[in-house]
Chain A
Amino acid sequence: MSYRITGSTGEWEIVVGLEVHAQVVSEAKLFSGASAEYGGEPNTHVSLVDAGFPGMLPVLNQECVAQAVRTGLGLEAEINLFSRFDRKNYFYADLPTGYQISQFAHPIIGKGKVLVDLADGSTREIGVTRLHLEQDAGKSIHDQDPTRSFIDLNRAGVALMEIVSEPDIRSPEEAGAYLRKLRQILRYIGTCDGNMEEGSMRADVNVSVRKPGETDYRTRCEIKNVNSIRFVMMAIEVEAQRQIEVWEAGGTVDQETRLFDHVRSETRSLRSKEDAHDYRYFPDPDLLPLVIEQSWVDELKTALPELPEAKRARLEAEYGVSRYESSVLCVEQATADFYETVARGADARLAANWMLGDFFAALNRTGRSIEDSPVSAEGLRELLGLISNSTINGKIAKEVLEDMVETGDSASAIVERKGLRQVTDTGAIESAIRDILAANTDKVDEYKSGKDKLFGFFVGQTMKAMKGKGNPALVNETLKKLLSE
């Protein structure tokens, strides 16, 4: 189903492209030896290179190049063995040199793609135009003083990957799915932590609208620096709506940079038109062109971890889990690893079921993540083993899991301590059932005269009498036998 917005003149289609700025995971900055770590006391992660002192020369960090190449490989993109750095000139207080070192004409990574999964179960391919390396700027703080802005250069010079998509996105949902998938790939490869709250992933959103069937694009607007997936989706909706109103009122949309205000749910023009981008790019004379070897790219490729798509396909084939289960288990690498530890040596389908159900619920309840889970993978595997070998039934297992979360004891220790071992002694089950039937002769008569639904009532009563420890299959079987006597 195509996403359409209905205006007064009929339906409109939206066209969206995203420019994602992803902070590269590295120890040091792109061109200096200062720390790239987030936070830190103001202006301490700053070298004289980052502060733009005269005579300071940039020296490229090899690991940042490797990270860009790894990301390119993860996006199945062309890796350009020749690339070059350019100066993008503009004046802003948190840009000490007056230019940002970026890659304009010759980016390190060319065309690639991202496969996104949509809610209706379909998959779409979103093209990646390019990925290039560039420096981040410093941070301006505007709320400390009525007349002055404060500048912290800790982030100035930190390596960013700008990942530009093709204008292939046709709905807010697709934009959200693209960002989630991109973040997942970056996190799997370890090239960006994807933390949008700390600003390590930010998006510029290009939006235009057109009538379905039009083949040319109309004028687009760029919404700068949107810092959450939800806001990206909201911004697309309100900006598309605004443009449709402009077109339908007989006006034309101006190409401009806009800002998304999520409180007022609107976009506003950010820069006056005469200040339109004129960055006067030119090759940075301080840096030789970057030439990398195919053999090095191959080495990096060999060392790449298993990527989300491949991992998901493998979990489905190897463990027989459903596509939905595999996609949830693969959102984070750590979750997939945890699952595999549980599933090796346990009933793999049962393991998936328990992880997506009671185990995730326990994590949510305790506010813990998979990394500091109160129950280890080995612990969960032991619990599932007790279900599989009929030591306990599924219902009791839920109780045991809660106890494990609470006390940290092992499943078998809890079963022993609380005496939860399931009763498989047919004699004991039969005697419990006979007591129930004797105490409910009226219901037995109703059942026999055709009220089949009462069967569940007898099961419930029996389990209650046995404190939940009856083997469900045996209870059912024995009940059927005694009720037909």
Chain B
Amino acid sequence: MSLDAKTVTRIARLARIGLQPGEVETLGQDMGSIIDWVEQLKEVDVMGVDPMIGTGLAKPRLREDRVTDGDCRDKVLANAPEREGPFFTVPKVVE
């Protein structure tokens, strides 16, 4: 199957990816075949099987509630495309 143009455009917009008009159809076919391939899983009968949530039953490591990090503004801002004093700056966001 192929994903329709509307769905492809919507997914691209949610992911903030700009598409050229010609790309919509190609991508629709590509994504469609990925979905088809994954759909094979539907052939397996999983009635009564709990969803698998991980490979091990390890518990997550938890951290103590202590301040051990931060205070590294120069590092944090080092790769900012644009900054102003202590802030990152971005094109104005208007609600």
Query: What residues of chain A have their CB less than 8 Å away from a CB belonging to chain B?
Result: 26-28, 32-35, 41-51, 59-65, 84, 89, 91-93, 140-142, 144-153, 259, 270, 278, 280, 283, 287-291
Q: Tell me if B87 is interfacial: C-beta within 8 Å of chain A.
A: yes
* A283/B62 contact (C-beta < 8 A), A43-B77, A142-B92, A149-B92 known: no
Q: Tell me if B42 is interfacial: C-beta within 8 Å of chain A.
A: no
Q: Tell me, in angstroms, the Cα distance from A147 to B92 when the chains sit together.
A: 5
Structural contact, A28 and B73, CB atoms closer than 8 A: no
Residues of chain A within 8 A of B88, CB atoms compared: 43, 93, 150-151, 153
Query: What residues of chain B have their CB less than 8 Å away from a CB belonging to chain A?
Result: 14, 16, 53-54, 58-73, 75-77, 82, 84-95
Structural contact, A283 and B89, CB atoms closer than 8 A: no
Residues of chain A within 8 A of B14, CB atoms compared: 89, 278, 280
What's the A-B contact tally at a CB cutoff of 8 Å?
A: 131
Closest residue of chain B to A271, judged by CB?
B95
Structural contact, B65 and A28, CB atoms closer than 8 A: yes
* A47/B66 contact (C-beta < 8 A), A140-B93, A289-B54 known: no
Structural contact, A149 and B76, CB atoms closer than 8 A: no
Structural contact, B93 and A62, CB atoms closer than 8 A: no
Q: Tell me, in angstroms, the Cα distance from A289 to B94 when the chains sit together.
A: 37
Q: Tell me, in angstroms, the Cα distance from A12 to B87 when the chains sit together.
A: 49
Structural contact, B53 and A289, CB atoms closer than 8 A: yes
Structural contact, A47 and B70, CB atoms closer than 8 A: yes
Residues of chain A within 8 A of B53, CB atoms compared: 84, 283, 289
Residues of chain A within 8 A of B63, CB atoms compared: 28, 33, 59-62
29 contacts between A and B (CB under 8 A): A28-B63, A32-B69, A33-B67, A42-B85, A43-B73, A43-B76, A43-B86, A46-B73, A46-B76, A48-B72, A59-B61, A62-B64, A84-B53, A92-B93, A93-B90, A142-B94, A145-B92, A146-B92, A147-B91, A147-B92, A148-B92, A150-B88, A151-B89, A151-B90, A152-B86, A153-B76, A278-B14, A289-B54, A289-B60
Residues of chain B within 8 A of A146, CB atoms compared: 92
Structural contact, A26 and B73, CB atoms closer than 8 A: no
Q: How far is the CB of B84 from chain A (nearest CB, A)?
A: 6
Instruction: Name B69's contact: one of A34, A140, A151 (CB within 8 Å).
Output: A34
Structural contact, A42 and B87, CB atoms closer than 8 A: yes
Instruction: Name B60's contact: one of A51, A149, A288 (CB within 8 Å).
Output: A288
- Residue of B54, B71, B88, B92 ringed by the most chain A CB atoms within 10 A: B88
Residues of chain A within 8 A of B92, CB atoms compared: 142, 145-149
Residues of chain B within 8 A of A145, CB atoms compared: 84, 89, 92
* A150/B62 contact (C-beta < 8 A), A48-B76, A49-B69, A259-B95 known: no
| Beyond A45-B71, A65-B62, 14 extra complex contacts between A and B, CB < 8 Å | A28-B68, A42-B73, A42-B86, A48-B75, A50-B70, A60-B60, A61-B62, A63-B65, A84-B53, A150-B84, A259-B95, A288-B58, A290-B60, A291-B59
Residues of chain B within 8 A of A148, CB atoms compared: 82, 84, 89-92
Structural contact, B67 and A35, CB atoms closer than 8 A: yes
Structural contact, A149 and B66, CB atoms closer than 8 A: no
Residues of chain B within 8 A of A144, CB atoms compared: 84
Q: Tell me, in angstroms, the Cα distance from A76 to B54 when the chains sit together.
A: 31
